[in-house]
Structure 1
Amino acid sequence: MLKNDLFLKALKGETVARPPVWMMRQAGRYLPEFMEIRKKYDFFTRCQTPELASEITVQPIRRYGMDAAILFSDILVIPQAMNIEVQMKPNFGPYLPNPIRTSQDLERVIVPDVNDSLGYVMQAIKATKEKLDNAVPLIGFAGSPWTILCYCVQGQGSKNFDKAKELCFTRPVVAHELLQRITDTTIAYLKAKVAAGVDAVQVFDSWGGMLSPVDYQEFSWRYIQQIIDALKDHAPVIVFGKGCWFALGEMAKSGASALGVDWTCSARNARYLTGGKITLQGNFDPARLLSPPAEIKKMVRQMIDAFGKDRYIVNLGHGILPHIPVANAKAFIDAVKEYSV
Structure 2
Amino acid sequence: MTLTTSLDRSSRINNSDRLLQAARNEPVDRPPVWIMRQAGRYLKAYRELRQKYPSFQERSETPDLAVEISLQPFHAFKPDGVILFSDILTPLPGIGIPFEIIESQGPILRQPIRSQTQVDALIPLEPETTLPFIRQILSTLRQEVKGQATVLGFVGAPWTLATYAVEGKNSVDYSLIKCMAFREPALLHRLLNKLAEAIATYAKYQIDCGAQVIQIFDSWAGRLTPQDYETFVLPYQQQVVQQVKATYPNVPLALCVHDSASILHLMSQTGVDIIHVDWTIDMAHARKQLGEIVVQGNLDPCVLLGTQAFIEQRTLDVIGKAGTKGHIMNLGQGILHTTPEENVAFFFETVKKAV
Tell me if TM exceeds 0.5.
yes
Q: How has the CA–CA distance of structure 1 residues 312 and 90 changed in structure 2, closer, same or farther, with 3 Å as cutoff?
A: same
Name the structure 2 match of 1:129.
Answer: 142
Query: SS state of the match for residue 149, structure 2?
Result: coil
The answer to whether the 8 Å contact 1:48/1:120 transfers is: yes
Q: 2:24 matched to 1:12?
A: yes
Kindly report which structure 2 residues correspond to 1:139-218, keeping only aligned pairs within 5 A, or say none: 139-218=152-231
What percentage of aligned pairs have identical amino acids?
A: 35
The answer to whether the 8 Å contact 2:295/2:327 transfers is: yes
Kindly report which structure 2 residues correspond to 1:202-241, keeping only aligned pairs within 5 A, or say none: 202-232=215-245, 233-241=249-257
Name the structure 1 match of 2:327.
Answer: 312
Q: CA RMSD in A?
A: 1.5
Name the structure 2 match of 1:24.
Answer: 36
Identify unmatched segments of 5+ residues in structure 1: none
Query: SS state of the match for residue 77, structure 1?
Result: coil
Q: Name the CA distance, whole Å, in 2 between partners of 1:311 and 1:130.
A: 27
Name the structure 1 match of 2:4.
Answer: none
| Count, aligned residues | 339
Query: SS state of the match for residue 4, structure 1?
Result: helix
The answer to whether the 8 Å contact 1:98/1:155 transfers is: yes
The answer to whether the 8 Å contact 1:111/1:182 transfers is: no
Q: Name the CA distance, whole Å, in 2 between partners of 1:64 and 1:133.
A: 16
Q: Name the CA distance, whole Å, in 2 between partners of 1:256 and 1:135.
A: 25
Name the structure 2 match of 1:266.
Answer: 282
Name the structure 2 match of 1:300.
Answer: 315
Q: 1:249 pairs with 265, 270, 294, which one?
A: 265
Name the structure 1 match of 2:81.
Answer: 68
The answer to whether the 8 Å contact 2:125/2:202 transfers is: no
Q: CA-to-partner distance for each residue in 1:155-200, whole Å, 9 max, x for gaps? A: 1111221111111111111111111111101111110111111111
Name the structure 2 match of 1:337.
Answer: 352
The answer to whether the 8 Å contact 2:273/2:293 transfers is: yes
The answer to whether the 8 Å contact 1:294/1:331 transfers is: no
Query: SS state of the match for residue 30, structure 1?
Result: coil
**Aligned letter for 1:14?**
E
Name the structure 2 match of 1:280.
Answer: 295
Q: Name the CA distance, whole Å, in 1 between partners of 2:99 and 2:255.
A: 24
Name the structure 1 match of 2:91.
Answer: 78
Q: Name the CA distance, whole Å, in 1 between partners of 2:128 and 2:250.
A: 17
Name the structure 1 match of 2:7.
Answer: none
The answer to whether the 8 Å contact 1:205/1:241 transfers is: yes
Kindly state the Cα deviation for residue 10 of structure 1 after the two structures are TM-superposed. 0.5
Q: CA-to-partner distance for each residue in 1:124-178, whole Å, 9 max, x for gaps? A: 1112112112211100000110000111111111122111111111111111111
Name the structure 2 match of 1:35.
Answer: 47
Identify unmatched segments of 5+ residues in structure 2: 1-12
**Aligned letter for 2:275?**
L
Q: CA-to-partner distance for each residue in 1:248-298, whole Å, 9 max, x for gaps? A: 2243344321100111011122111112x1110011111221112221111
The answer to whether the 8 Å contact 1:51/1:127 transfers is: no
**Aligned letter for 1:127?**
T
**Aligned letter for 1:294?**
A
Query: SS state of the match for residue 27, structure 1?
Result: coil
The answer to whether the 8 Å contact 1:191/1:234 transfers is: no
Q: 2:128 matched to 1:112?
A: no
Q: Name the CA distance, whole Å, in 1 between partners of 2:216 and 2:175.
A: 23
The answer to whether the 8 Å contact 1:281/1:312 transfers is: yes
Q: 2:69 pairs with 51, 56, 62, which one?
A: 56
Q: Name the CA distance, whole Å, in 2 between partners of 1:101 and 1:324.
A: 39
Q: Name the CA distance, whole Å, in 1 between partners of 2:15 and 2:328.
A: 18
Query: SS state of the match for residue 152, structure 2?
Result: strand
Q: Name the CA distance, whole Å, in 2 between partners of 1:215 and 1:249.
A: 14
The answer to whether the 8 Å contact 1:114/1:185 transfers is: no
Kindly state the Cα deviation for residue 3 of structure 1 after the two structures are TM-superposed. 4.7
